[in-house]
Structure 1
Amino acid sequence: MKPASKTPRRAPNGVLTDRPIPIRLLPAERAKLEKMAEREQRSLASVSRLVLLRGLAVCERTKTLTS
């Protein structure tokens, strides 16, 4: 008999899964993320990460929120 396997990782290789970043959202913001997650068939964490990455790219491109 095979030993029970762990749940497969869904995070990309190299993602720090042991160091999550808590974030507080307004109810409307969370609802938008939840709708996006449902539409994309992704977890709320996955969609939040993708939105963050896109936002970071915009900030880097426009040189905003940097010193």
Structure 2
Amino acid sequence: VLTYHILPGTLCSAGVSKGPIKTVEGQTVQLSVSEAGVKVNNARVVYADGSITNGVVHVIDTVLLPPSLDLE
């Protein structure tokens, strides 16, 4: 689940465009951009462009679950 939240490289909010993007886990997430903000799948980005030592962190309002994850 953790690697489904990580994208390769550094992606700042100014460089975000809509469409699918592959995660480190190997599956894709869908990015959408509107006047209301940025979404990753159905999660809303609530804080963007936090600078960290090895990249950029964006905070979302829910946990992303890979489609292949079986919780049963």
Sort the TM-score into its range (normalised by shorter chain): under 0.3
Structure with the higher fraction of residues in strand conformation: 2
Higher relative CO (Cα under 8 Å, sequence separation at least 6) belongs to 2
With normalisation by structure 1, the TM-score equals: 0.27
Larger Rg computed on CA atoms? 1
Structure with the higher fraction of residues in helix conformation: 1
